[in-house]
Structure 1
């Protein structure tokens, strides 16, 4: 006599999940940047969220900047985030570099006046090909300028300068005295603590 098969009931885990609204930190005006489901709010902590600058500011010219946030606490059905870094899209970086120019990459770890550490990666593009000695000097000037500026600013002030491009233009105006520059952009930042 054959034994009848009993079907095991599959539990629908989607019905157990709740939706949480993700918000940016206060220094990014506490804006809603999305929603995410989770069974337990503790599962949200540490989850990363990426959003373009255009989505936050409405400025289409800032489409190439991607901001990264990480959920650090949940209050009710709101997931609050902290800024962890930003980067520019690779197609935008490629569009800046042409034949006969020099690409100068400078990255340095800076410390703000409120003791927060950030790693910044600056890309400078010259109008003509630069000698390696000029490139080396340019890197040194960029690193010095970033370190000085960071030491004078708080973490929130520095993030604002980095993301809106004001720090990049400050670097441009100081570094173009060494060699003619076409463009300076902070292509990456990462919060270390």
Structure 2
């Protein structure tokens, strides 16, 4: 008998919860990302939804890009998000690595024109092996470009150009003058949120 009462309470608790439809930011056309459930709207804030860029854009050549969005606003049964970061799949990266070639990673902490901080990992895949001086020059070029681009653009302009490949294509044009290059990819990003200072 006690067991039945416990099951009944679970059912009642489930019915008390509400479903919220989650959408991407306006810069990504407020695409429907999925549903999340909670017994009150306040508990939806901060939840992270994950999808692929291919599913969002209906361009399945971009299925290798995983996107993360964090809920920042709730209105009625709709939840709206902000971009939290992205990452290229490990399978895609493994396919890009070739023998007798170099993979050169650059991690850059950039600040956009409106003061948002984002950590960006960009990778250069060369056609043949680059020596130490060439690798140093490539990292410097990538770092300088990303810092300059972020400073010139708003947060959402920068994020869109980054995930849609515009930044990678521009970096490639300058890197190939330093060393024969097969591809440049921004393989990962993470938004760095400002820490809240608690008054003493």
Into which bin does the TM-score normalised by the smaller protein fall?
A: over 0.9
Distance 2:132 2:39 in 1: 56
**Which stretch shifts more, 90-99 or 36-45?**
36-45
Q: What residue is the counterpart of 2:64 in the other structure?
A: 64
Equivalent residue runs for 1:33-72 within 5 Å: 33-72=33-72
Q: What residue is the counterpart of 2:162 in the other structure?
A: 162
Report the alpha carbon displacement of residue 47 of structure 1 after superposing the two structures with TM.
0.8
Distance 1:158 1:21 in 2: 27
Greater radius of gyration (CA): 1
Deviations 1:28-83 (A, max 9, x none): 11111101111111111111110101111000110000110011121100011110
How many residues are treated as equivalent by the alignment? 188
Q: What residue is the counterpart of 1:88 in the other structure?
A: 88
Q: What residue is the counterpart of 1:97 in the other structure?
A: 97
2:2 pairs with one of 4, 7, 11: 7
Deviations 1:91-136 (A, max 9, x none): 0011000111100000101111111111110010000011012101
Equivalent residue runs for 1:103-118 within 5 Å: 103-118=103-118
Q: What residue is the counterpart of 1:186 in the other structure?
A: 186
Report the alpha carbon displacement of residue 140 of structure 1 after superposing the two structures with TM.
0.7
Report the alpha carbon displacement of residue 182 of structure 1 after superposing the two structures with TM.
0.5
Distance 2:19 2:78 in 1: 9
Distance 2:33 2:108 in 1: 30
Unaligned stretches of 5+ residues in structure 2 = 194-200
Report the alpha carbon displacement of residue 16 of structure 1 after superposing the two structures with TM.
1.2
Say yes or no: does 1:172 pair with 2:167.
Answer: no
Distance 1:173 1:192 in 2: 28
Report the alpha carbon displacement of residue 22 of structure 1 after superposing the two structures with TM.
0.3
Q: What residue is the counterpart of 1:18 in the other structure?
A: 18
Q: TM-score, normalised by structure 1?
A: 0.95
Question: Secondary structure at 2:101's aligned position in 1?
Answer: coil
Distance 2:136 2:172 in 1: 16
Report the alpha carbon displacement of residue 169 of structure 1 after superposing the two structures with TM.
0.5
Report the alpha carbon displacement of residue 7 of structure 1 after superposing the two structures with TM.
2.0
Distance 2:39 2:184 in 1: 45
